[in-house]
Amino acid sequence: MVASLKPANPGDSICDIETPALILDLDLFEENLRRFDRSIVGNNVRVRPHAKSHKCPAIAKIQIGRGAAGVCCQKTSEAEIMVANGITDVLVSNQVVTPKKILRIVELSKKASVSVLVDNPENVNLINDIASKHNVRVRVLIELDVGANRCGVTDDHSLLQLAKSIQNSPFITFIGIHAYQGRAQHVRNKVEREALIRTAIEKVLHARDLLESLGFSCDYVTGAGTGTYEFEAASGVYSEIQPGSYIFMDADYGKNLDENQKPVSEFLQSLFVLTTVMSTANPKRPIVDAGLKSLSVDSGLPLVFDSKTMYVGASDEHGVLESPEDTYKIGDTLRLIPGHCDPTVNLYDWIVCVRGNNVEDTWPILARGASI
């Protein structure tokens, strides 16, 4: 449940926002949406943005309003929240393996178009068994391991066994192939990122040929992320792409390089953590109110936006800065660029939407913490 206390209200000034707060610069967010739309012109692909980046039905509706086919979710609970808030086409881009979760997918499939991934015949059999008791067909995609070394079928024999289990399951509907190269998203060199996706495409083509020889229709191939989607979109093999972070960006994506070995600049940093200086006892090491409970540091410490000041340390509720000049005063606010946007969003109940110096709206992060 979203906390009742909002950090701000529409009409407030930025300086009135209670911190730490997750803020979204709407001008930059909207420009990212436009840039993304332009970047896929001429490619025959659908877009299914990944909602794990924002966990916010309000943003999902904006994306669908711009032509997205639906959204991806990573958890059954995320999908339930999206469907409950009017999103009618959801791909759970993950395996759902326990009987209780499968039953929730079955129930959700009565209300919306919901799909899940499979890479194991036993999982297929269990889904079919539970679905049969409710006279519901569950839509599945076969997940291939195309280099992430995570989930997904890794060899022809396993793929054939999985395909046969689907063929023998009357309450399972095969709809396509899922092939996401997650490890490629943050490979810094563009040539190396593209090479990893070429390898992924070769694996998809091989698997598609094998499945089609068994009578499966494999027109639907989905995957891709913000770091590589341009390659999948242009491949002629992927029919759908799943970028998520492009709407926000973060410090880690900012380290990716373009073909000229310069930082990638397709998208703008629109998401920030607004924080307040709470101590200047040491003027060269100001302390702010955004620490580990306000920022995910799995991809490194945040950056201080538009400043030479550095964020150098974090404890639960404190962030330590190093400033080249003792210019900060108690009560000053500054914007931090999260190292990793997805888990940072998951720490907040609200996205505070700002335009210029004013708060325009607040969007609840309804799927915050949805992890089961």
**216: its two tokens:** 């499966």
The pLDDT score that the predictor gives to residue 4 is 59
Q: Which of 142, 241, 228, 120 is CA-nearest to residue 181? A: 228
Model confidence, pTM = 0.96
Burial class (CB in 10 A: 0-12, 13-18, 19+), 344: buried
Name the one residue in this structure whose structure tokens are 């598609």: 208
Name the one residue in this structure whose structure tokens are 């086409």: 89
For 136-149, the pLDDT digits (tens) are 999 999 999 999 99
Q: Are 90 and 82 in contact (CB under 8 A)?
A: yes
The pLDDT score that the predictor gives to residue 104 is 98
The H or E element spanning position 278 is strand 271-279
Q: For residue 20, is the peptide bond before it cis, meaning its omega torsion is within 30 degrees of 0? A: yes
Distance of CA 314 to the CA centre of its chain: 25
Residue 218: how many CA atoms within 13 Å on its side-chain side?
Answer: 23
Which residues are paired to 156 by β-bridges?
Answer: none
Q: Are 277 and 331 in contact (CB under 8 A)?
A: yes
CA–CA gap between residue 175 and residue 115 (Å, rounded): 9
Residues of the chain with pLDDT under 70: 1-4
